[in-house]
Structure 1
């Protein structure tokens, strides 16, 4: 009996079935069978081209989704069932991940919840909003009564993997053409659910004009859906209340955005209002403000008053928008005039403006350059651009400006040197006698710049014309190795000069001593003799929030008392709630996401565990073990795009599952001869120019005007001495 049956069902709408089956057939899937309930001739022909790797169950044209699902489930023999519509997709590697997860679930679990991507006819690979909810649930199985918020997950049956016995026990209730009803019913009927907070489904929305028109009965069915579901939750107060809130929200949204004919809209409003009044939980209070007014009018069935309220709100928003727009335009004109006046002043050769990570503070390559500048060229005055909320965190005495202020525009207009590891705003004018230094903030594994164009998940929201206009202002671009130099020239095609001097932020990996390492480990509470594992995953464009891809509590328990897990979330998630509140284990799991600088964390760590983060290239300078945890490599490579195959050129052992990672870290595999050889190859390629004197070379070349021949030469990698390892320092 296979662990998992993937049941693909439906017609080959717009030929999406072909790509779906190609992805499933792309690599062997142990413990998994694929059953295609093919509706219509085209789907049947497509499926049969993939036999015998898939089982084909031909069904006549017009067979409903519910009937096709049921037929496919009857043919399936797996312990778990994953229903996938023929028009949807499965990200590369996701089915293997699901099969591995269900194999480890206890028998009490009925439903496994997955994360998903969203795609439309014009875009693909967009994140869902479900990530934070799934992260909150963690990886332990739970009952819905204790976690009713899971009802707020997008109601897709494809993001619920069902235990086959559970499906058979509740087949009648789950067999419906209303997929959201089936998805919610699966949660309500399950004894316990578990979570796999990974991308394992692609919800592909077809262009509305390609779909049949929505009939009045389909509009009214929304109310019927929730009436039947609330019947299932009647004796469960917490669940009932959340489901009721979802019903009212969905009905109001459908009414406001459904584009219904007037007579249909009026009837829908009255049906929804009657249900909202009749099914309201005892003692339930409406929210305050406009939302409360909407709900009150809905329950009263006051259709005319609600329409008037909508019109008044639209008018009020229009007035507010006009006022805000006027204020913004006036403020922009004033700032523009100030900036333009400042541009007529002479450039100040003793003024340098520094910024890092979208004005987060003194950090990264700009910070290392500024420090060396104070030593070699103290006559040049540095001013940092820092947001108001981060200004309080600056080192004492740091001269800074806050974006948008008068002095901010003045220093940008008059500084001789502008240094950033991202880009300054589009409005910044490149003066002929000013020097723009782009330091970057990592070695590129993932596609960057114009190379993101073929990858919609990575490119969403990017204005490539504006990006290239910013790139054209660069005079210099800092690089740490030949690979990076070539990729920057490809990703940012312009006339800048590449400074093959190394990344200044990495100098510390050669200049730090034993005292420095002991001090930072003491600040982090790492006792001498304990192993520190730094876990630093990267951002994923196809996830809405940060979800640790490891069960950190379980990993910590397996690694034991002598290992501390330092967990570093990506800086993109600074504003999000930490998902690490639960898994802290008596000081053995430490959230260091807000700890700066990250270089100190690297100095403190005995081993780095990462996925596709550029931190691996920097950490390799220390010549310490690196382990890659790549559970979603195929999805990441497909949606984000990469410059080389990390699986073939990794800096150390690669784990595709948590169990493999645990095995590596609980044996000598993380630091054996094979790991050392892989790391040596990786270091030769990617630590090419980093030798501890990168900042000095940059300052002498850019700020002091020295030519290349007079700069300190890059020390061959075999002659460099990295900072001592923690065991050596102690």
Structure 2
């Protein structure tokens, strides 16, 4: 008997079912069975491709969601059920997370709640508000009364909860309804105990309203009917509980009524009532309805608010309390007037804020222009990296070497306020928008960045702008992105070219980069073919340094460490690992540690790795800096199209390319060469292939070594451990090319020792 039956149900709306089933088929799990209640010919056609591994149950067109769920559940053999609508999605590893959690739950638990992300026709993988709520519930199981304030405010989806199969069978009649939010709330009202999982295991996809039938007045009114029915269930639940308790404790005495004057309201009814009123008011305020429909909706909501108001209930203070009072009075006209007044007040405040920002910007511009009249300070250098994230990358290596070779030049870093606390001690820095920020940018002799400074920064004739870049380009960059809409989205190419025209120097790691920078950034800058300063550490690090990094990361000395560092996709808004990392870790064995680093573009999105950290074989290093230390700690690198492969190749350690979506990436982003034809090592196109490479000697065999040697000759051309010195001597000290340390030939370079050698 599997732990979990995933019941996929519904029609193949906009062909969403195809991707969902492909993901499930690519990442099977022995404790998870998949049943597809396929509604209509298109859904059946899409699903039968994955039979017999996936059980397909064909259903006729027009079968509603409730009937499809019931049909799928009737064929399920798992102890638990997870209902997944065919239009929605499951993150890689999501079913495994749920199956592992329910396996530990006692039989008294009927419902497991978990977190989800949401996608629309415009956005992808937006975090929900449920995560903190679920986190507060902990891992223990609770009756609903104990967690009503949390559980009843979790988004009402059947997809973000698993149901014990016996519980579903006992209450199937009450839960079989096309109204999914009703069914979702009802599962909680009928459950004995509820548990929580503070991990994302579901993706709710919202269809574009214009692709759906128009909403009828009856559908609007049904919202009120839904909550009235739920409150009736809640009241019956309270009455039953009170009667049972009274009978158990005092069989002779009559049962006490569920509520008495002055008594505290039942927590379940109180929270559900609050949810109803909020939802009705929000729907009324945000939904366009004809006036007659809006009046009738408001009237029905008013009657429900009065009829079901719990004893002792108190309205909140402030505007929300006023809204509720007007609703209870059925004061439609006054409510509309209150709405209009609020909109006018918000518009006035927004206008005041806008004028304030404009005044502050104008003042800042005047201050910056005034500062430009001051002499350039020959001993002042401004540094920035990754849009003011902190001390990192090539600028950090240059700044360190500058302190050694030219201590008279004072470095100042530009860093955002939220990252300032992460700076190394005693780092002089400025916050964007401040008075000193404008002064140092206006008067510094040297401006160093691995991206670009803002458009408003003026290029003074006697100032030097040094562009260091932050990777060797595989993907199209600069103006080469113009023919690729996904990559070019939101880019102002005229502004980009204006920024490029401020460059005096462009640092390059190899001839390929030099040629591509000149193509992608057509301007008059001078190319410095010196290597990337950030890669100097790959030739200067000692065995002790490597042991220290691995110790900080918690990697046992005898274990193999594999760094998985994928890049971002322009056609995806968030990051979901393209690998089932838990399964991969299991396959690689207990003597292998996976270091997982998500791309920095995805900061702020929910991490899909949290549940895997507890195993000790997966370490989330997405926030670890500097990334060069991760490379030093790793025995091998697994990546897709990230520029880290070009840097890591300096270490002459194995690299495996996992390219499951190469054709899509290549066509949407554009590339400068065919990585599949010129890889740095073995190439895997599926997880199975990757597993085979990493569990045999293929990851470091003769073929992989030959591919890596050719790759190093081409892309590690100038990296020899002296790049930062060459940059400082040429740019800051004004030395001639002939006086700079020559590039050491590749065959004479000695990279840092491998982790095995360091042990």
Please, what TM-score do these two structures have when normalized by structure 1? 0.74
What's the secondary structure of 1:417's corresponding residue? Answer: strand
1:203 counterpart residue number: 205
Change (3 A) 1:28 1:486: farther
1:456 & 1:138 partners in 2: Cα distance? Answer: 44
2:280 counterpart residue number: 251
What's the secondary structure of 1:351's corresponding residue? Answer: strand
1:369 & 1:487 partners in 2: Cα distance? Answer: 23
Query: Cα deviations across residues 32-58 of structure 1 (Å, max 9, x unaligned)?
Result: 7766423xxxxx589769987797958
Mean Cα deviation higher: 141-150 or 676-685:
141-150
1:214 counterpart residue number: 215
In the TM superposition, 1:37-52 aligns within 5 A as 37-38=39-40, 44=41
Q: Which has the higher contact order (CA 8 A, sep 6+)?
A: 1
Change (3 A) 1:615 1:143: farther
In the TM superposition, 1:46-85 aligns within 5 A as 59=60, 63=62, 65-66=64-65, 69=68, 73=72, 84-85=85-86
Matched, 1:440 2:441: no
Matched, 1:312 2:341: yes
Change (3 A) 1:646 1:489: farther
1:228 counterpart residue number: 229
2:350 counterpart residue number: 321
Alpha-carbon offset, residue 506 of structure 1: 1.4
1:291 & 1:220 partners in 2: Cα distance? Answer: 22
2:393 & 2:639 partners in 1: Cα distance? Answer: 19
- 2:399 equivalent among 370, 374, 378: 370
1:124 & 1:216 partners in 2: Cα distance? Answer: 29
Alpha-carbon offset, residue 355 of structure 1: 0.9
In the TM superposition, 1:307-456 aligns within 5 A as 307-391=336-420, 393-443=422-472
1:269 counterpart residue number: 298
CA contact (8 A) 1:32 1:78 kept: no
What's the secondary structure of 1:698's corresponding residue? Answer: helix
Change (3 A) 1:573 1:287: farther
Change (3 A) 1:378 1:323: same
CA contact (8 A) 1:611 1:629 kept: yes
1:627 & 1:284 partners in 2: Cα distance? Answer: 63
1:284 & 1:491 partners in 2: Cα distance? Answer: 65
Matched, 1:689 2:722: no
- 1:599 equivalent among 621, 628, 631: 628
Give the unaligned 5+ runs of structure 1. 39-43
Mean Cα deviation higher: 483-492 or 593-602:
483-492
What's the secondary structure of 2:358's corresponding residue? Answer: helix
CA contact (8 A) 1:456 1:639 kept: no
What's the secondary structure of 2:750's corresponding residue? Answer: coil
CA contact (8 A) 1:457 1:639 kept: no
Change (3 A) 1:164 1:267: same
What's the secondary structure of 1:603's corresponding residue? Answer: helix
What's the secondary structure of 2:278's corresponding residue? Answer: helix
Change (3 A) 1:245 1:482: farther
1:261 & 1:21 partners in 2: Cα distance? Answer: 38
2:259 counterpart residue number: none
CA contact (8 A) 1:132 1:544 kept: no
Alpha-carbon offset, residue 619 of structure 1: 3.7
Matched, 1:724 2:723: no
Alpha-carbon offset, residue 694 of structure 1: 1.9
Alpha-carbon offset, residue 337 of structure 1: 1.2
Change (3 A) 1:215 1:664: same
What's the secondary structure of 1:213's corresponding residue? Answer: coil
CA contact (8 A) 2:158 2:180 kept: yes
1:516 counterpart residue number: 545
2:156 & 2:677 partners in 1: Cα distance? Answer: 35
CA contact (8 A) 2:199 2:608 kept: no
1:413 & 1:257 partners in 2: Cα distance? Answer: 47
Change (3 A) 1:498 1:182: farther
- CA RMSD of superposed structures (Å): 5.6
Change (3 A) 1:270 1:195: same
Change (3 A) 1:523 1:100: closer
Q: How many residues align?
A: 708
1:65 & 1:502 partners in 2: Cα distance? Answer: 62
Query: Cα deviations across residues 508-562 of structure 1 (Å, max 9, x unaligned)?
Result: 11112234334545666767656666666666774668999877899699966x8
1:185 & 1:247 partners in 2: Cα distance? Answer: 14
Change (3 A) 1:53 1:529: closer
Change (3 A) 1:230 1:675: farther
CA contact (8 A) 2:597 2:621 kept: yes
CA contact (8 A) 1:118 1:128 kept: no
Change (3 A) 1:514 1:287: farther
Query: Cα deviations across residues 209-232 of structure 1 (Å, max 9, x unaligned)?
Result: x54433221111112223334556
Change (3 A) 1:580 1:117: closer
